[in-house]
Amino acid sequence: MRDAVRKIHLLALLQLTFLAACGGSGGGSLSTGGTGGTGGSGQTIASAAPNVVTMTVDAGPAGLGANTTFNIPYISVTICVPGSTTNCQTIDHIEVDTGSYGLRVISSVLNPAIFSGLPQEATSANVPIVECTQFGDGFSWGSMRLADISISGEKAASVPMQVMGDPNYPTIPTPCSNTGPEEDTVAQFGANGILGVGPFVQDCGPPCTSSTQYGLYYACPTGGGACSPTFVLLSQEAANPVATFTTDNNGVIMELPSVPDAGAITAKGALVFGIGTEGNNALGSATVLTTDTSGEISVTYNNVSYPTSFIDSGSNLNFIDPGSVTVCGTSPNQLLCPSSEISTSATAVGLNGTQSTVKFNIGDSTTLFNNNPSFTAFNNVAAPSSDPLKKTFDFGLPFFYGHNVFTAIEGMNTAGGMGPYFAY
Amino acid sequence: MKHSSRTGKVLGVALATVVAGSVLPAFAGLGGDAASVDVDVAKMKGQARATPVAGYTMSEITLPSGTVVHEFVSSEGKVFAVSWKGMAVPDLSQTLGTYFAEYKAAAAATPHASHHNLTVQQPDLVVRTGGHMRNWYGQAYVLSLLPPNFSPDDIK
């Protein structure tokens, strides 16, 4: 194994550019011939309705240059100054992420009237609250503000959201900048913002109401004084706005169509609000997999159990234990590149003991990307998991094509029981 | 969180000395010397225990946030690999040491929209991160410092 890994490193050194972005020389022909998509038979994608917003996988917002995106689902979100019906802005290319919580928007995309109108959250000493959001590839730094959030016909009043890269707070505390690279511009982030609709309400939850050890929330004096770590109220934490909708507030369904094995230029589906609350969002025969307090389930793959696994629309690849499959590629992702496409399966097991086996394919990711550089939707691309403990199987966006994936929010009742759970 | 050796070569467990002194070496974390592990424990206010394995020692540092950091020290006394997993990302300038700047610069050079994973692959440095909100993880290693019989796959 060591020799194989070292060989991969040597190979990577010879690759001077990011394979997925450069396109150009094709790496041989792809052996396809498998069935398109994963599952998908009988899938219904909701048509336009007040609880439905179009969700599209495409190359991302303008201004990304060579770093266009793939396997990232986007929607449009409207924010208003609380109580206003006129000081509003609709923002496109908001990334939909079941692996995080709350709405966060890049400050530079906000128009000045709404930016200045969004009230800032403050501590009990009336010091503005600024968040250091930790992601898996860097951090975002920006003020916590309140906004009325509308998506299609759904509305949430006065919800805490983050303005990423707020120029009013230019000095990032060292403990925050020490967590990685900053991602506060559209070019750095690959989206105009992100909507976290995972199975919890807040991004931190109770821990950040009594401890500053997590490094998420800071009190930053207006006018530029030094920021200091702070507790916040649960109601002040960045929050999944779906839980605050007046109706259809117990979860979401991500509905993306199947795509061919070779991929597709784009994929257009729907983000549906509510589970079993309308005629278009019934749980049906979907298998309910309850999660633990981290939002995790167990997955068995190749006879190995991965107890800290999750289902994440914000992961653009399936991140799995590569086993004997060839690893190739370099920054920003290593990739799996089998010489011929592999058809395999994994069994997801909920905390409730129910299980569901998922078939999926692993193609040669670099060849898939190189064959069609303009494609953005792939159901068969995977990469090695970064979990050092080798306990994680991350069902990323490739899993979502052809499945309607339900995410029920903690403490919310549904026909399938109480959240938190995933179902598909 | 409990971790058992996958190789079964654990020879024993010893408590590491926590250095809370005022004079700390400049170099700590990845690429630092063995004493830098104690520096990391002190600076990150963690609790540590060291597990000698054939050819290297793994120190496990539990941070106040609950996040667990592992630092791997070779018999030559160099930190050649680190890993972490938990609710909060640890201070990576501490755990990656002098390699932190290289990691940040390389990551910034290849921005991407998937915020649950990243690989930075440099001539001598590999950093791989990922996870989801409420449970983040990562690992990093220096190729030229890996002990002869150590594969990156042995990181845990």
Chain B residues inside the 8 Å CB shell of A383 = 117, 119
Rounded average pLDDT over A143-165: 98
Look at residue A330 and give its three-state secondary structure: coil
Chain A residues inside the 8 Å CB shell of B92 = 178-180
CB contact under 8 A, A394 and B116: yes
**pLDDT, mean of each 10-residue run, chain B (156 residues):** 35 35 55 86 86 88 96 94 97 96 94 94 96 98 94 94
| pLDDT given for residue B8 in this prediction | 34
Sign (positive or negative) of CA dihedral A304, A307, A311, A317: negative
> Smallest Cα–Cα separation from B99: which of B24, B29, B26?
B29
Of all residues in chain B, the one with the smallest CA distance to A190 is B113
pLDDT surpasses 60 at A5? no
CB contact under 8 A, B64 and A213: yes
A191 part of contact set with chain B, CB < 8 Å: yes
Look at residue A42 and give its three-state secondary structure: coil
Which of A137, A188, A299 to probe the B interface (max B CBs under 10 A)?
A137
| pLDDT given for residue A332 in this prediction | 82
Q: How far apart are CA A260 and CA B91, in angstroms?
A: 42
pLDDT tens digit sequence for A276-317: 999 999 999 999 999 999 999 999 999 999 999 999 999 999
- Residues of chain A by 3-state class (helix, strand, coil), percent to 5: 15, 35, 50
Q: How many CB atoms lie within 10 A of CB B123?
A: 11
Q: Which of residues 89 through 148 in chain A touch B, CB cutoff 8 A?
A: 95, 97, 99-101, 134-139
A71 part of contact set with chain B, CB < 8 Å: yes
DSSP secondary structure letter of residue B154? G
Chain A residues inside the 8 Å CB shell of B138 = 136, 386, 388
Asked if A378 and A367 count as a contact pair (C-beta separation under 8 A), the reply is no
Chain B residues inside the 8 Å CB shell of A6 = 143
Indicate the residue of A5, A188, A308 with minimum beta-carbon distance to B152: A5
CB contact under 8 A, B153 and A5: yes
Indicate the residue of A315, A384, A392 with minimum beta-carbon distance to B114: A315
| pLDDT given for residue B17 in this prediction | 35
pLDDT surpasses 80 at A377? yes
Which of B43, B85, B117, B135 to probe the A interface (max A CBs under 10 A)?
B117
Assign A172 a pLDDT band (cuts: 50, 70, 90): very high
Q: Which of residues 23 through 52 in chain A touch B, CB cutoff 8 A?
A: none
| pLDDT given for residue A292 in this prediction | 97
Q: How far apart are CA B58 and CA A134, in angstroms?
A: 26
pLDDT tens digit sequence for B25-65: 445 799 998 888 888 888 888 888 888 888 899 999 999 99
Asked if A108 and A152 count as a contact pair (C-beta separation under 8 A), the reply is no
Average pLDDT score over chain A: 91
Indicate the residue of A95, A213, A384 with minimum beta-carbon distance to B65: A213
CB contact under 8 A, B88 and A200: no
Q: How far apart are CA B81 and CA B104, in angstroms?
A: 17
Chain B residues inside the 8 Å CB shell of A330 = 119, 121
CB contact under 8 A, B115 and A138: yes
A216 part of contact set with chain B, CB < 8 Å: yes
CB-count burial class (<10 Å; 0-12, 13-18, 19+) for B15: exposed
| pLDDT given for residue A3 in this prediction | 32
pLDDT surpasses 80 at A29? no
Two structure tokens written together for A409: 């929010």
Asked if A160 and A144 count as a contact pair (C-beta separation under 8 A), the reply is yes
Q: What are the start-end ranges of the H helices in A23-74?
A: none
CB contact under 8 A, A179 and B92: yes
Which of B61, B89, B115 to probe the A interface (max A CBs under 10 A)?
B115
CB-count burial class (<10 Å; 0-12, 13-18, 19+) for B33: middle
- Shortest CA gap B17–chain A (Å): 23
CB contact under 8 A, B153 and A2: yes
pLDDT surpasses 90 at A194? yes
Of all residues in chain B, the one with the smallest CA distance to A61 is B113
CB contact under 8 A, B118 and A136: yes
A413-414 and A251-255 strand pairing: unpaired
Which of A386, A390, A394 to probe the B interface (max B CBs under 10 A)?
A386
Q: How far apart are CA A43 and CA A38, in angstroms?
A: 11
| pLDDT given for residue B37 in this prediction | 85
Chain B residues inside the 8 Å CB shell of A139 = 89
| pLDDT given for residue B110 in this prediction | 87
Chain B residues inside the 8 Å CB shell of A1 = 151, 153
What b-and-e string marks burial along A194-218, b requiring 16 or more CB atoms within 10 Å of the CB? bbbbbbbbbbbbebbbeebbbbbbb
pLDDT surpasses 80 at A130? yes
Of all residues in chain B, the one with the smallest CA distance to A213 is B65
| pLDDT given for residue A330 in this prediction | 78
Asked if B102 and B140 count as a contact pair (C-beta separation under 8 A), the reply is no
Rounded average pLDDT over A265-272: 98
A317, A322, A328, A330: CA torsion to nearest 10: 60
pLDDT surpasses 50 at A44? yes
pLDDT tens digit sequence for A322-353: 999 999 987 788 999 999 999 999 999 999 99
Q: How far apart are CA A75 and CA A194, in angstroms?
A: 9
pLDDT surpasses 80 at A135? yes
A317 CB-near residues (< 8 Å, 6+ apart):
A71, A333, A335, A365, A381, A382, A383, A396, A397, A398, B114, B117
Which of B112, B128, B142, B144 to probe the A interface (max A CBs under 10 A)?
B112
CB contact under 8 A, B117 and A136: yes
CA distances from B105 to A90, A226, B15, B116 (A): 33, 26, 36, 18
The residue range of the domain holding B133 is 3-154
pLDDT surpasses 80 at A164? yes
Unique residue bearing structure tokens 């490094």 = A215
Which of B43, B100, B114 to probe the A interface (max A CBs under 10 A)?
B114
Q: How many domains does chain B have?
A: 1
pLDDT surpasses 70 at A28? no
Look at residue A224 and give its three-state secondary structure: coil
CB contact under 8 A, B114 and A135: no
| pLDDT given for residue A133 in this prediction | 98
| pLDDT given for residue A186 in this prediction | 97
Assign A41 a pLDDT band (cuts: 50, 70, 90): low
Two structure tokens written together for A19: 């394979």
